[in-house]
Each structure stands twice: as C-alpha cells, then as structure tokens.
Structure 1
Amino acid sequence: MIEEPLTGGNVTESVVRVGDTVRRSRGAGSAFASRVLVHLESVGFAHAPRFLGVDEQGRDVLDFVPGRTTDHPSQRAVGAYRLGARMLKALHEATAGHALAGSEECVIHGDPGPYNTVFREGLPVVLIDWDAARPGRAIDDVGFMAWTWCLQVEGNVPIAEQAAHLREFSDGYGNGYGSAYGGGYGDVEPERLIEAMLRRQAEVAVSEAAKATDERLSPQRRRHAKAAAAWAADHRRLVEENRCVLLSALE
C-alpha cells in the first residue's frame, strides 16, 4: 500500500492517506473517539468521517474526505460560519442524553477549529480529528468554535469583519440551543458567548504553556505548545480589547 503523509497535524504522531482511507496513530482519546464516530454514523450525522476499524499496525482507519482546511476568512464562502455552527449543533443534539455523554449535557468535539474542518468550495463539510472528543458542556464547544473560526489576530482582517463572522456563527447555532436538552440551561446570550471564548482561550494558554516545558513530550510537540499558548493569549487580548465591538455585533 502506498502511504501519503498528510500534513498539518501537530499532536497526532502519524497521519497518512492510504487509498480512500486515512490511518492515524492511536492516542489516549482514540477509543472514545471511535465509539463516538460509530454512534454518529448510526444516527445519520453527516459531518464526521466513518470509523472503519484498526489496521495491522494498530492505527485507526477512517474514510478519506476530500477537501481542505482553512486558516483565513478569504478561503471561506458566504454562509460558512452559519453552516459550521449548525454542524456543531447537530453534533450536540445527536449525543445529548446518550450514554456516551455520561452525566454531561452531550459529547463535545473538543477542538472544532477550522484546522480540524474539511471545506469544499469554501463551505464546511466534515469535522475531523476527534481525539479530543469527550462528555462536556455544549457552550465549551460553542465558545471554542466561535473563537477559532471568527477571530483572527493575523491576516489583516478588520475587527468589524470578525464581529460580523461572530454574529453569523451565533445566528447559525441559534439562541435557545438548550431546547435540545430539554431547555436545561438557556440561550447563548452575547455575554455568555464572549465569556465562553475567553474561558477557552485561558484554558488553552495555560495547558499549552505547561506542555511547552514538559520534557516527556517530543520537541515538535513542545514547539507547537509554545506557539499555541502564545496564539491563545493573543486572541484573549483581542477579545478583551474589542469586547464592546463584538458585543454590539451580537445584540
């Protein structure tokens, strides 16, 4: 079999394409992620790769989804933010109340950034890299996706444009998202969304800063952790400095 390395990953040890499949090294979250993917396929969730088993080298086998990830708004089409939010909401609705969610609201993706989303013609089609999936609160996924999709420290994106993307995302996920769980925890109000972004940014900055000095990790992983900690801290400052602009767009 011809193995074609897939670039872009910073955490998984090895990701390659073999024909119409992707082979990924298994990690601590792989067993749970595979169960989530099997469940999502069983309920017709269309925005995740299919889990096809484990190969002879002990790697997860997933179906290959053609497309590309994005790192700048210019690579995304009109409606991309709304559609991405709807994909995330569909995940939360598909896992709310399921045994996989345990005592939490639902299963969250954990890292639903645009770098973990396959786009075609500028529109998102599939969320990939499910190793961070876990039982959790939907708002934590919402805050993370809103941050990583809509905010841009680099790339010369005007803050008004970033705020408009945030509004589109918020509208796509929809106020009153708690109805999927019996109305247990209310709307995604503007202040709550801003606080969710700030909280996730702080969590990433702290956790990645710790990994940056962890000698048990590979040099590549430590370098990525250092950059990720700075990236999260920079975006937290962006939100704090432009909080009024972002809130105004959401109201």
Structure 2
Amino acid sequence: MDADAQAAMDAAGRATLANVEARPVTIDAGVVTRPASAGSETAHSFLRHLRGKGPECVPEPIGLGDGVETLRHIDGASGGEGWFHQHGEQGLVSAARLLRTVHDAGLDWTPPADAVWGAPPVAGDDIGFCHGDPGPWNFVWRDQEAVGLIDWDYLHPAPRVNDVAYALHWFGPLRRDEFVLDWHHFSVVPDRRRRVQAFADAYGNLRQFDIADAVTAAIRATSDRMLELAQAGQEPQRSWVADGALNRNAAEIAWVHTHRTAFS
C-alpha cells in the first residue's frame, strides 16, 4: 500500500472512531437506540409510510424523544461487515433491486408540512425521496443478499439517479485500485464496467445519464453537506474535515473523471 492509500485508511479509521464517539448506537432486545437529529421525525414518517406499503427492508420506527430515536433492529451484517457481501453479482444486484423497491414505494408519500430534510432538496427530473447515503455499509446483508437499508439521516427529495450514482461510486467501486483491494477487500480489481451495468440493469428503467458526471456530482454534494455540518460544529463531520476529507473527495472526483472510459 502506498503512502497516500495508507493515509486515507488511517484517516478513515479516525473518522470511524469519531463517528462512534459522536453517535453512540446500542442494540438491545431487538431495539436500536441512536441519537436523534432534526430530521428524525420526518424520517420516521417516511419509514412508517414505506412499511405500510409492504416492504420490511427499512427499520420500523418505535419512538422519538429525549434526544434519541428507537427503531426495530433488522438482523444481518452491516457497517464494515457489509463490504464482503456485495463482492459477487448476487449481492450487487440485490442491493440495486432493494434500492429500486424503496424508491418506488416512497413515491406517493406526502411529507409533513414542517418536514426537515437531512440534506438539501435537489431539483431535476424523476424526483423521489432519496436515502442520500446508500453505500454497502448502510445495507443489511444476509448470505450475500441485501435485505435492508438503514440510517436514513440524509433523507431528502432529489432525482432518484442521485442515489444510484452515489451507490455506483461505492459498489463499482469507482475508486483507485489500491482502495478497491485494501479498503473494499476485493482479491482482484473487478470489471467496473460490468458491475456498473449489472447494478443499473437490476435497478431498471433508469433515464440516460453520464455515469462519471453523476458520480462526481454525488461526491461534491457529500463534500458540501459535510463542510456545512462541520462548520456548524457537528461531529463526526468536523473531525472528518479536520482529517482532510474534502481533499480526499477532490482526489476521488479527479480519479473518476480521469478513468471514466473504464466504466462508461
């Protein structure tokens, strides 16, 4: 691993520690207790709507108060344990199908009049309610199958392709070879073009879009939101920015543009 890759890994580890310290989460008797945010009430309304439509792939809200929210736990692997489950095509396409299911089920939700969004709304075509952070760590996995999508902190209205592009960045993965091997734990660098196509096909009926442009727009949006929260003193974003996350995201954007012919 070269020095830049090692620095990124070390920074990611520090950011993860800051996240754990800033947002303690407990699971007890099948109930997840985690810090609430300003948007938690809106997210709970959305999750209740989804579950009322049938999908059980999102957490069931239980309660909200005293600065915490409680939700029913979805059993399976998530967080760092989720990376390995999406290495094969089964995991990859199951995540795309689950994301499509959630997007479709949420289309007829009417947000509260006083809705508080976890990220700024985005105008455009094919607007839906986006998760905002659909990386492998926020899916719940069982035997290489995506069965849940958790952590709806960044729920916001936006073109559904925004969520797809965000996911492609991490599921491709559309990142440096060193990161693919050392961070994502692939044994060899996969065929990114094939994985992008498999994800898009499994999601289904996407409007035409430029993959590199959409992915880099998603990274920029992440950086903008991170900086906004960091400047407000919120953790873990403040620690991420202090650790150089914005510069690393700029490098990710440059890599995607330089290597766009490898996957589009």
- Structure-2-length-normalised TM-score: 0.74
Is 1:171 the counterpart of 2:201? The answer is yes
CA distance in 1, matches of 2:69, 2:17: 18
One-letter amino acid matched to 2:39: G
Contact 1:10 1:224 in 2 (8 A): no
One-letter amino acid matched to 2:92: Y
One-letter amino acid matched to 2:261: C
One-letter amino acid matched to 2:216: L
Contact 1:49 1:128 in 2 (8 A): yes
Is 1:136 the counterpart of 2:153? The answer is no
- Return the offset for 1:9: 8.1
Partner of 1:53: 63
Partner of 2:74: 65
Check 1:198–1:215 CA distance in 2 against 1; reply closer, same or farther (3 A cut): closer
In the TM superposition, 1:14-33 aligns within 5 A as 14-33=24-43
What does the per-residue CA deviation read over 1:156-208, in whole Å, with 9 as the maximum and x for residues that have no partner?
2565523322121111112x34xxxxxxxxx2x2x433321111112223433
Is 1:110 the counterpart of 2:151? The answer is no
Contact 1:20 1:63 in 2 (8 A): yes
Contact 1:32 1:134 in 2 (8 A): no
CA distance in 1, matches of 2:257, 2:23: 35
- Return the offset for 1:239: 1.3
What does the per-residue CA deviation read over 1:64-108, in whole Å, with 9 as the maximum and x for residues that have no partner?
122222658644343111111111111111122431399982211
What does the per-residue CA deviation read over 1:193-231, in whole Å, with 9 as the maximum and x for residues that have no partner?
33211111122234334555x37234x542224454344
Is 1:94 the counterpart of 2:111? The answer is no
Contact 1:204 1:229 in 2 (8 A): no
Contact 1:107 1:136 in 2 (8 A): yes
After superposing the two structures, state which structure 1 stretch, 139-148 or 67-76, moved more: 67-76
Contact 1:69 1:117 in 2 (8 A): yes
After superposing the two structures, state which structure 1 stretch, 65-74 or 201-210, moved more: 65-74
Check 1:73–1:17 CA distance in 2 against 1; reply closer, same or farther (3 A cut): closer
Check 1:192–1:115 CA distance in 2 against 1; reply closer, same or farther (3 A cut): same
Partner of 1:192: 210
Is 1:147 the counterpart of 2:169? The answer is yes
Partner of 2:258: 241
Please provide the CA RMSD for this pair: 2.8
Partner of 1:222: 238
CA distance in 2, matches of 1:74, 1:18: 25
After superposing the two structures, state which structure 1 stretch, 199-208 or 99-108, moved more: 99-108
CA distance in 2, matches of 1:34, 1:215: 24
Partner of 1:3: none
- Return the offset for 1:130: 0.7
CA distance in 2, matches of 1:59, 1:162: 40
What does the per-residue CA deviation read over 1:45-75, in whole Å, with 9 as the maximum and x for residues that have no partner?
12111111236x4421111122222658644
**Aligned to 2:95, what secondary structure does the other structure show?**
helix
For structure 1, the residue ranges without an aligned partner over 5 or more in a row are: 1-6, 178-186
Partner of 2:13: none
Q: How many residues align?
A: 226
Overall identity of the aligned pairs, in %: 23
For structure 2, the residue ranges without an aligned partner over 5 or more in a row are: 1-15, 114-122
One-letter amino acid matched to 2:201: D
CA distance in 1, matches of 2:25, 2:84: 27
